[in-house]
Amino acid sequence: MKNENLVPKVRFKGFSDPWEQRKLFEVTERVTRKNTQLQSTLPLTISAQYGLIDQNTFFDKQVASRDVSGYYLIKNGEFAYNKSYSKGYPVGTIKRLDKYSEGVLSTLYILFKVTNADSQFLVTYFEGNKWYQEVMKRATEGARNHGLLNISPKDFFNMHLFIPVKSEQYKVGSIILKISCLIAANEDKLEQLKTLKKLMMQKIFSQEWRFKGFTDPWEQRKFSELFFKSKLKNNSLFSSDKIISVATMTWKKPDASRSSDDYMKTYNIAKMGDIVFEGHTTKEFANGRFVENTLGDGIVSHIFDVYSPVMKLDLFYWKYFIHNERSIGPLLKRSTTNARMMSNLVERDVLKQFLPVPSSTEQSSIGHMLHLIDNLIAANEDKLNQLKKLKKCLMQNMFV
């Protein structure tokens, strides 16, 4: 009869035998090779996200001793265990050296090489959390030395692993590796798209880049020629299911303690295309920020000022324009800070501030292009999230 506890929920076709319980020392061998001949001067550190990486690059400085002759010498394909706790990694991390041919590590690390298992399977195994309990059982209860889990090399190598036959190890390791590579490729693509968008916004709003056919200089228009401060109050025209979260520009549920009819009447009406000033100061928005209503007609808290367009303006263009620091920054600086450390716009100062404005057709071209890039970013974020969910599901169900 099979031991059901050692059979994962998801298997490759042709595999049905229970996995085996093995001790780490049965499938690996400890590495204690010293860097006595200074074969390497590359100090490494373990990052939960990036694996074994150049310490100088990761910390932007050298943390290791100048003399690394007493350090361990680790070679490509070998593993290292960092006993240091970090957020989300309560017992530390185990990573394989993949990026460099060799490097050096502090003797506080535990190093080993694979002798009787598929190396990529172990990479995947230690990326999960199935081994956490084994380490905690062998660590000195509640003891940490300078943030390091107190576990001896002997106890570490005595921890149990649960592994299948090598052919199944290979398949499990390979499928997770392929998904990890897809995740990394999509993360790179997403960063490239975000960098492209940032660059385009800088060049377009500084007028260094223009669409073909547009050469006229942008007009300097007073804010009052473009927007006016709306005085529209809710007065029960909109129900509580039409509340807009200004921070995220999404619909939100009302606060049960503040949803009385009288209180809802204090809300300001924000129509499609209106821009709302959010005064919360952050590192990125030191003087607050404008957010455009692209959801539809709704209501916002009375603490937010609403400005409505004087004429029909391109919805997408203004969505991006109001987030361009170079153009909108001088206007936002005409603000004061109240007792709650929120910025307030001084209406008379804001309305007379000049803004550079292109023609309506150029606005449309700019807004459409930036909107397309945003759609690409959103699609890639969605794909990336799906891949991460798939990997998480497989990690939970392909291991015992």
CATH number of domain containing 60: 3.90.220.20
As a whole number of angstroms, the distance between CA 110 and CA 31 comes to 8
- Whether residue 305 is found in the same domain as residue 283: yes
- pLDDT-derived band at 145 (thresholds 50, 70, 90) equals low
Average confidence (pLDDT) over 173-182: 96
C-beta separation of 204 from 371 below 8 A:
no
Identify the residue with better confidence: 383 or 325.
Answer: 383
Structure-model confidence comparison of residues 236 and 205, the more confident one: 205
203 and 259 in a single domain? The answer is: no
Same-domain status, 229 and 309: yes
In a domain, 11, yes or no: no
Query: What's phi and psi for 56, nearest 5 deg?
Result: -65, -40
pLDDT digits (tens, 9 = 90+) for 218-232: 999 998 999 999 989
Does residue 124 sit in the same domain as residue 188?
Answer: no
Q: Are residues 185 and 134 in the same domain?
A: no
Identify the residue with better confidence: 153 or 65: 153
Residues 24 and 154 in one domain: yes
Please give the helix or strand (H or E) that residue 369 lies within, else none: helix 360-397
Apex 18 CA angle, 12 and 24, nearest 5: 100
Question: Are residue 210 and residue 124 in the same domain, yes or no?
Answer: no
Choice between 336 and 172, residue whose per-residue pLDDT is larger: 172
Give 167's contacts (C-beta < 8 A, 6+ positions apart): 15
CATH code, domain with 192 = 1.10.287.1120
Question: Phi and psi (nearest 5°) for 367?
Answer: -60, -40
The residues, ordered by sequence, that sit 6+ positions from 194 with a Cβ below 8 Å of its Cβ are 377
Indicate whether 228 and 286 sit together in one domain: yes
Q: What is the pLDDT of residue 1?
A: 40
Where does the pLDDT of residue 138 fall: very low under 50, low under 70, confident under 90, or very high at 90 and above? confident
Distances (CA, A) of 367 to 36, 134, 373: 61, 55, 10
pLDDT at 339: 45
Number of structural domains in the chain? 3
**Does pLDDT of 179 surpass 60?**
yes
DSSP H helices, 20-59, are 24-27, 55-59
Task: Let me know whether 325 and 237 are in one domain.
Answer: yes
Of the residues 140, 163, 186, the one at which a domain ends: 163
Does residue 325 lie in a domain region? yes
Whether 6 maps to a domain, the answer reads: no
Determine what percent of the chain is predicted with pLDDT higher than 70: 90
Same domain, yes or no, for 239 and 275? yes
Tell whether the model's pLDDT for residue 174 goes beyond 70. yes
pTM, two decimals, is: 0.81
* 3 part of a folded domain: no
The whole domain housing 111 covers 20-163
pLDDT in tens, 53-62: 998 877 665 5
Residue 350 has pLDDT above 60, yes or no: yes
